Each structure stands twice: as C-alpha cells, then as structure tokens.
Structure 1
Amino acid sequence: MTETVTILTAKLVRTMDDAVPTGTGVAIRGGRILAVGTPEVLAQTYPDAETDDRYADKVLTPGFVEAHAHMGGLDSPYFVGYFPRTSPDGTPLPGAQSFQGVLDALKAWDADLPEGAPLMASGFDTLFFPGEVLDRHALDSVSATRRILVIHASGHVATASTAMLEAAGYDASTEIEGVVKAEDGFPTGELHELAAMMPFMSLAGLDLSKGLTNEKGMYNYAADARNHGCTTATDLASFDVVRPGGLDLLAEVTGREDFSLRLVPATLGAMTKSAEEAEQMAGLLSSLQARATDKLHLGSVKLMLDGSIQQYTAKLQEPGYVCGHDHSIWNTDAETFRAQLSAFHKAGLKVHVHCNGDEATEVFLDTMESVLAESPRWNHRHSVEHSQLTTRAQYKRMAELGMCANIFSNHIWYWGDQHIDLTVGTDRVQRMNAARTALDAGVTIGLHSDSGVTPLDPLATASYAAERRTPTGRSWGDAEKISVKEALEAITIGPAYLLKLDHLVGSIVPGKFADFAVLDRDPFEVAEPKELRDITVFGTVVGGAHFPSPVLAAA
C-alpha cells in the first residue's frame, strides 16, 4: 500500500540548502521529505497528495540541532542562577540576583524539606557577587544539620555544607585534588572538578548507577527542545547507554509516537581510568550500535580534559588568567586521555572532548595527531567541545586533522562582562569563541548551549555568535562575528555534520527526515542579530508528526 503524500504549505520554507534555498511548500511521505517548491508545482508532481495548510502563515526551517546539551542532572528545581530561566517542564525559575537572595532561597527550601533530606541547588556563580564567598560557613547559616550541596553554574565546581562534608568523610586529612582547604587545613566546602565532587552526588540524591535520566526527565527535555524549535539534541555525558536497563529506557521512550526529539546520547568515556577500561567500554558501545533507531542515535563518546574558565579551573596557555587566579585542573591526565582517545577512535566511535582552554585544545590536537598516525581513519569528525580559547593556529591544525568545533557562544552573553573584567581580559575576549576564524580555517562548527548550564535556545545561541555583545552592550570583538546565515547554519547543518547525521537532518532536502521548526517569521530577514531572540517558535515537526508548543496551543 502506497503511503500518503502530504504537502505542507507555509508562508516560507527556508531549507538551509543553497541548491533550493526557499519554497512555500514541502512534500512529505513516510516521515521523509520528498520535495520543496510551491504547493501548485508539488500538487502537479504528486496529484494524489493531501494538502495541509496549518502552517500557511508560518515559516518552516530545518529543525534545530543542539550538539552539546545535557538531559538531566543540572536541572534542579532549586535554582539560584543569576539570570532567570524556565525549567524544561515550563516552570519559571526566577534565580537570585543578590548573594543574600541566594541564601534566602536556600533557607526557604530548607524550611519546606523534611528533616534528613538533602538539598541540592544549582546555577550559583560567584562572579556575579564580587567579594562574597559561598563556603561551608555560608551554607551552615542556612542549616547547621542539613546536607546541602550547591552546584555552580558551570557544573565544574560545587560547595558543600559542613554536614555534607562530614557525610562524605571529608576533613583535614582528605587529600583529593580540587578539595579547597582553609588555613586551618579543614575543607572550605568548595570542590573543584570531578574527582572532588563525585563522592557527593549520591549523598545529594543522585544515584549515578541508575543514571540521571528517567521517563519524566526525557519528556521534559523533549518539551524544552520543542518549545525552542529543536528536533535533534545530544545528552553529552550520558550514563544510560552502558548502565543496566538504561538503553532499554532510551529505546522505549524515544520509540513512542508522542516523543518529539531525536536523541543522541554520548556516553561519558571519561569514567574509564585505564586503557583496559577504555577498550572494554569501546567494545561494548560498538556492540550496542545495532540498537540505534531513527530517534535514537548511538556511537558517541564524551571525554574531558580541563574545567571551566569562569571557575578558573580550565587549562589556559600564557598569559593565563588576567586576575592571577588559577585553580586549573586536568580532569584526565595525558596518558589516560591518550588511552581513551585511542580506544574509542579505533572502535569507530565519534568522540567529543571537553576543552575550554587553549592548553586543553593543544593537548587534544597533539594526542589526535599521534592517534591518527597510529590508526588512520577518515571522516572521524572528532570535535573540540566548547572550544572557547582555541587559537587560529589550532583551528588550522583541526582542519588538517579532520576535526570539528562545537563553540559555546552562549558565554558571550551569560558571562560576557565577567570574562572581560575577571577572567581573560579585553584582548583575549576578542579572540574567544572565534567562530569566524574557525570557519575561515575550514573547520565545520556547531554552536551550543550546554543546557542546563545555560538555557537550550538555538536561535538565541545563534544570535550571540553573530552579535558578540554582552548584556551591558560591551563588544566581544567584531572581527569574530559571523553572519546570520552562518549562525543559522551552525544550529542546523553544521552540528548535524558534527554529529555525523547531516545525511538525515539539518536541512530540508529530499530524503532527509521531515524535521522542521515552525516560526513566526523568517530568521534571515532580521534587521539585527539580536532580533533572532525575539522570534516566536510555534513548535516542531519531527518525522512528519506535529508537536505544537504552548504558544501555538494557546493561539
């Protein structure tokens, strides 16, 4: 039986494909795109087609692709970030715009929680409160008995209360890199990077053996993506593919007709601590790729080198941090990293490596060159994740090595002023998140949010790379601006290529999935890049299925 052809009409179809850049209709069959054109010509080509005019006054673009985000773990309802945001389920999270406001919010939540329950909050960033210190004493002023853990906005630093430190067995005798100590030798409560932070996760109520994902969290993530026009997204530090029952959950939920997202989980290969462990995980992940589906794409791995620039834990080359602070930590030492990269590369997997600082990027490039010499592999597309201080010379090497860059352009907005004043200074900011340099060097780029570090909103993410202005209007250097078209490519076909999915998503061309973002206007026609942030998203189409956002439902 021949499947029905449907012609979706639109005010405009923006394909992100230069061969046929626009149309006013798109023909769909079996969840795939047949053709783009005018409704009249499409109806002549497919005379038995049904016409669907629900988007006749809307603009269709390819569904946006978010190549670096996190499905769970950083979206606590106890949010103390500086910028207000909306949780994936639509709940407003006002955050806290003063240090006292942070403590007041924690006290209010403490009063509502049952005795003995831990309190884990997220989003705090000390850079917005100069002179204030969130240490164990500050948290003890909230409660002297409750186990409290505050995850900082970057996800690379946390602060624990005294009760939480005691529960973890941390005291003056603790010798773990990243555990900050006071003059008396006792931990201050501040914890830098994974080795120091991980023992507290289960105490805060996160059982990593069960992953960070559940059915409700998956639907919340998909709804958040839908509300912002995103049809494909990663979970870029997943435990679920390799934990017992985790892959079954991912496959079952993504396989449902009402699930509105193509999911790309990247397993946290940084968990491996030896060549043997890395090879074992690589073999397991390779064997599981047969379970991939149209809405569950497997075969990606996440590795980690350095930390966070705004937390001073990222690895920077000279001249380093302008303030003189440097708490930089290698999350993975060079020998272990080489063993990891080699194992996953040889297994044919796609590798994403967290590199905020340029020194971390240099280590990745050196290791990549060595691994490729030992095990040549074309079309690997391994990517530098965040790539915030990657230099011109490094981008040229990346192009030569066949690598991609996933650039964290949201930093231009969320920490733009702070990076100028407190971390790298005016000169290096102008070279930071250098999308223009990357493209000119021939490197394919994506732009990302790192949700929940910053909100998942691809149009906003694109606007920051094209505008390069902070919330106070200060410039991040016009030389690294990219055009609106290039920015839109970096949230569609660019990240699709980076994820090795550009044959399936990222543009509206025959044969690809019928995945669209439904917008109120043409993003190519904004007068200024910042207007991308004002475009209304009415929902998405995923494989020809319609997922209206609350905005459209209320219309």
Structure 2
Amino acid sequence: MTTTVYVARKILTMNPSQPEATHIAVRDGRILAVGPEGAMKGLGEVSIDERFSEQVILPGFVEGHSHALEGAMWEHLYLGYFPRRDPDGNYWRGAQSVNAMQQQLRDHAGTLPPGEPLIAWGFDPVYFEGARLDRQALDAAVDDRPLVIMHASLHVMTVNTCMLHLGGLQRHVGIEGIMVGADGHPNGELQEMAAMHAVFETLGMNLFETVGSPETLWRYGRVARNAGVTTITDLYNPLTDEGIVALKAVTAADDYPVRLVPAMAALAWSVEEGIERLQACREQGNDKLHFGPVKLMTDGSIQGYTARLKWPHYHDGQLNGIWNAPPETLCEMVEAYHQAGIQLHIHTNGDEAVELMLDAVESALALWPRCDHRHTLQHCQIIDHAQLRRAAAQGLCLNMFANHLYYWGDIHRLHTLGHERSQRLEPLASARRLGIPVAVHSDAPVTPLGPLFTAWCAVMRETASGQVLGEHERVSVPEALEMITLGAAYTLRLDHLVGSLEVGKFADMTVLDQSPLDCEPKSLKDIGVLATILGGSVHVAE
C-alpha cells in the first residue's frame, strides 16, 4: 500500500499540540503521520514528494458560507461596482456609473437574439448617488426585451417595464416586496424571495435552482480550487431530485477537486417535506458530499435596505427591511428542525433578525434540550454585545461576513448604520472573547471567493477607501487562519475530518508561496495559492 510523504519548507497544521511540521505522510487519502523528517520512520515503503519543498502547506481552506451560484452567474452579464475575474480567468470591468451600466446593457443586448431575456447581476445601486435604480433607467437602456438585474446582495432585483408587464406584476401593487414609485405604480424593484420568484416563474427559469446543473458544480469546484478551498458549502440548495442526482454524480468523480456541503433551502419545502428530504439524503453522501444542514432565510441585506434592524433602524431614515416569511413561521421552523435533530444555519443580517432567532433557539432548547447542536447564525453583521452573550449561553456558532467590511463598510458608516454601529460590524474579537466558535466567509458570488482575502478583512478591517472600522474588533493572523480552516469546519460539523492536519483526517491541504505568519498582516491577501491537495491528490491552481 503506497504511502506518500510531502515535504514542505513549513507546514502550519492548525493542531495546537503540534503547530508546525515539515513532513506529512498520506495513505489512502488520509493523514498517516505529521512532524519532522524523523517522524516518518517506521511507515514502511514510502514515496517522497518534494515538489512543494520550498513552499508552505496549510490545512485546506474551508468556506463555510458561499453558494454554487458562483459557478452559474458568470453565464450572465456582470455589472458589479468592483472589477472581477470569472472562473476561466476572464476580466470583467463591471460598472462604476449608471451610464456605464446602461451602455453595457445595450452592448450585451446586441449580442442576443431578438426578444431573448437579458439577465445581468452584481449591480449595487447603493454606490451611486441619487434615486435608486428603477424601470425607467432600465428602459432607457433596453426596452425591447425582458431585462432582469440581480443586485449584488442577491436579495433584490430590478426589472424593466417589459418584464413587469410580462410577469403581470403591475397588477400586484401592495404586495410586500413589489416596490412602487411616487405615481403609485410598480417601479421595477423587487425585494426578497417571494417577489423575485414571480419573475423566475414567468421566465421559466430560477437562478437559485441552476445550482443543480453539473456544469455549474464543476465550475464551482474550479473556483474553489483556485482559491485554495478544499471544503465548500452551497448554503442555499433547493435539493431537488435532479439536483441531488447531480451532486452525487459530480462529487463521485475522482478529479472533482473539493468536498461539498449543500444546505437545504428551508423555504423551498414545507417543514414536513424538508425534514423527510434531509433525513433521506443523509445516507446518500460520499467522502466528498456531506448532506445534513438546513438553511433558513430570515431577513435580507443591509446595503439593500431589506435587513431587519432594531431601533433606530436605518441611519439615513430608510424604511426597515422585510422578512422572508412571517416571524412566527420562522420561529416554528427553528423549533421543528431542532426537534428533528437537524443543524440549522440561519441567515440573520440585521440585529432584529438576530433577536428573533435568539428567542426561537432559546425556546427550542427549553422544549428539547440538545448538547452540541452547533446551530449557526450566518452573517449576524451587527449583532450587539447583549446578543453575543445570549449566543454564547445558547451554544451557538457564528459565521460572520468579514468581506463586508471592505466592500460595504464605507456605505454602512455613512448611510445605513452610522458611526457607532459600524464599529461593531462583524464583532469577531468580542465573539472570541466570549468563547463563541467563529468562522468568516465570502458569501460568493456576493463577493469573490478567497479565504486569504477574507482573513485579511478580519485582521485589517479596512474599507475600500482605507478607513479602519472597529479597530478593537480586529483579530490576529493566527486567529483569522483558524476561522478559515478549523473554525469553519466546526460550524459544518466536519472538524473531525478536515480543518487541521492531524493523523486520521482527510489529507486536504493548501499550498501557498509564503507563510501567512511570516509576512506583514497587510500582505495576507496577496499570498499566492499554488495548489490544493484533496485526499492526497494534487490539484494545481490556474
């Protein structure tokens, strides 16, 4: 039986009993030994692999909150404020003004057959002064075909007049989520899942269900590999029958480069159907496919003004956000899934949503006490200190959206939250002081997938303009590395298998061109990912 020993300049293990090593032995996809060269003796016949002898090896990064949509959205026009590269390395300049957005829409429409719907994504109106994007602005660019623009948050879309009429949405004034203008008619902005679903239903396609495509899953795997990720989530998967078949087939392939954890979208099913579906999936996984958690969507996004905030709500006076389901329904779902023994990952952007879910989990635990439940609040961006203490008492995990500090920190400081609440945006240090298990994430495709950049955000807390938000909530580089490895693995109930380099765990590693512990913290995001190793198989980054 072949044993391969990988040699590195330095191996950072994330194992507190042995933080560093130089050699790691792998047999049958698992770690057989870790340590100095002398620790490799007595393993029998070994093959020495020195291709990374001048590089640094870490545990494979674990992305605890992202979406397979990252592998699907690039089939459509990207209109984000920040330039990005797609999974194939192509450069997309995005749109830094409404005029630029309109011109890109016109240009792209010219490449499509007559009447074919145009779908774009990533646009973020919060960056532009003046009125919010509406159907008139879109009509000025494209008025001869349905046009749909998904905002960067994925919680809001804007459509043109043609799409409004095609979907019959002008007849639904007064329905929550269908926004109206000063004239009392729908202005083209649709907020949250129920309103957006009407558009998908009309078009006969749902972007959120494209995650069931094998092509999407393969593209997602390539993105993960290039970012150094070896375990990744799809944290809003409808788990349709077709989607489950695709998940099983793709992850069963020997060359699929990542382990995948789909979390079922709770609002896609009745509670009874959802519990039955998850329980049926539990035995259908494999070493690279781990079924189990459920994702519950409560509110929306802060920058999209759809998150639910406690008083005084939005700093600039905008109306409070909306719920994706009635609060009492959300609480009932928490209790039902908890009673069924299923781990909950709960989207809570605003502190009012956090409060509701803390009440729900507290009630569920009172009725059905359960140790080590690992229910995880996702995003929880402005969770306050009283709420942090409650979360610690309830044994909750927190997975915070650290990238938000860079991409929307300036917006929050000036518009949505104001100075004081922006200082506690993503309060990572406070959570750690209370002993709460913490991870950080990218929420790709909302922001680019890149754990080293996410770690940099947690350490530096710099906005896009260079402002520091909440210096007292900064964490150290070792703490940030834990949050993208073992900490994230813990929130997925996989810390016994991945997240650190210890004997018996999967041989999942990331190869970097320098040590994060030896460079300046400000350079953390610039470290290069050379390859990943999944179960002992090397996958070179592109």
- Fold conserved between structures, TM > 0.5: yes
- AA aligned to 1:9 is V
Q: Distance in 1 between matches of 2:217 and 2:536?
A: 21
Listed one character per residue, the Cα deviations across residues 262-314 of structure 1 (whole Å, up to 9, x for unaligned) are 00000100224xxxx20221022112201121100001111011111011111
C-alpha displacement at 1:369, in angstroms?
Answer: 0.5
TM-score (norm. length: structure 2) = 0.97
Q: How far apart, in 2, do the equivalents of 1:234 and 1:401 lie?
A: 24
Shift of 1:204: 4.7
Task: Tell me the residue number matched to 1:385.
Answer: 378
Of 531, 534, 539, 1:539 maps to 531
The letter of the residue matching 1:538 is L
Alignment correspondent of 2:176? 177
CA displacement 1:422-457 (0-9 Å, x = unmatched): 110111110110001111111101100000000000
Partner of 1:6: 4
Taking the TM superposition and a 5 Å limit, the aligned residue runs for 1:147-166 are: 147-166=146-165
**SS across alignment from 1:127:** helix
The 3-state SS of whatever aligns with 2:331 is helix
> Given the superposition, is the C-alpha separation of residues 155 and 98 from structure 1 closer, same or farther in structure 2, using an over 3 Å criterion?
same
Is there any run of 5+ residues in structure 1 with no aligned partner, and where?
Answer: 551-555
State the distance in 2 between where 1:380 and 1:211 align. 30
Name 2:80's counterpart in structure 1: 81
- Alignment partner of 1:483 is 2:476: yes
Instruction: From 311, 316, 330, give the equivalent of 1:318.
Output: 311
Distance in 1, Cα, partners of 2:22 & 2:439: 27
Q: Which residue of 1 aligns with 2:455?
A: 462
Q: For the residues of structure 2 that align with 1:139 and 1:89, how far apart are their CA atoms?
A: 29
TM-score by length of 1: 0.95
**In 2: Cα distance, 1:341 partner to 1:417 partner:** 34
Counterpart position of 1:280: 273
Alignment match, 2:285: 292
Aligned partner letter, 2:473: E
Answer yes or no: is 1:225 the counterpart of 2:219. Answer: no
- List structure 1 runs of 4+ shifted beyond 6 angstroms: none
Instruction: Output the amino acid matched with 2:65.
Output: H
Question: Matched residue of 1:123: which SS?
Answer: strand
Could you tell me how far apart the structure 1 residues matched to 2:46 and 2:295 are? 44
Residues 346-383 of structure 1: per-residue CA shift (max 9 Å, x gap) = 22211111100111000000000101111111111011
Structure 1 CA distance for aligned equivalents of residues 506 and 244 of structure 2: 23
How much does 1:76 deviate?
4.4
Tell me the percent identity: 43
Aligned length: 540
Instruction: Read off the aligned partner of 2:367 and give its amino acid letter.
Output: E
1:247 equivalent to 2:244? Answer yes
**Distance (Å, rounded) in 2 between the aligned partners of 1:204 and 1:537:** 39
**Alignment-derived partner of residue 93 in structure 1:** 92
Q: Please, which of 25, 28, 34 is the counterpart of residue 27 of structure 1?
A: 25
Structure-1 residue corresponding to 2:322: 329
Paired residues of 2:33 and 2:40 also in contact (CA < 8 A): no
Matched to 2:470, the amino acid is G
State the alpha-carbon separation in 1 of the partners of residues 20 and 205 from structure 2.
47
Deviations 1:463-507 (A, max 9, x none): 001101112111102110011111110000001000000000000
Decide whether the 8 Å contact of 2:309 with 2:320 is kept in 1. Answer: no
Distance 2:50 2:27 in 1: 16
**Please, which runs of 5 or more residues in structure 2 have no aligned partner?**
none
Tell me if 1:133 matches 2:168.
no
Q: Amino acid of the residue matched to residue 111 of structure 1?
A: G
Residue 507 of structure 1: aligned partner: 500
Distance in 1, Cα, partners of 2:444 & 2:207: 19
Counterparts of 1:46-57 in structure 2 under 5 Å? 46-57=43-54
Cα distance in 2 for partners of 1:354, 1:309 equals: 12
Amino acid at match of 1:543: G
1:367 aligns with 2:322: no
SS for the counterpart of 1:265 is: strand
Write the letter of the residue equivalent to 1:271.
A
The 1:430–1:548 alpha-carbon spacing in structure 2 relative to 1, beyond 3 Å, is same
Q: Is structure 2 residue 115 aligned with structure 1 residue 123?
A: no
Distance in 1 between the 2:537 and 2:66 partners? Answer: 23
Distance 1:521 1:380 in 2: 37
Q: 1:76-103 CA deviation, whole Å, 9 max, x = no partner?
A: 4300001111112322221112221111
Shift of 1:211: 4.4
Which whole-Å CA distance do the structure 2 matches of 1:236 and 1:422 have between them?
29
Is the CA contact 2:120–2:150 (under 8 Å) kept in the aligned structure 1?
Answer: yes
Report how far residue 394 of structure 1 moved: 1.0
| RMSD, matched Cα | 1.4
- Displacement of 1:75 after TM fit? 4.1
Distance 1:85 1:103, change over 3 A: same
Q: CA–CA distance in 1 between the matches of 2:172 and 2:307? A: 26
* CA distance, structure 1, for counterparts of residue 151 and residue 273 of structure 2: 33
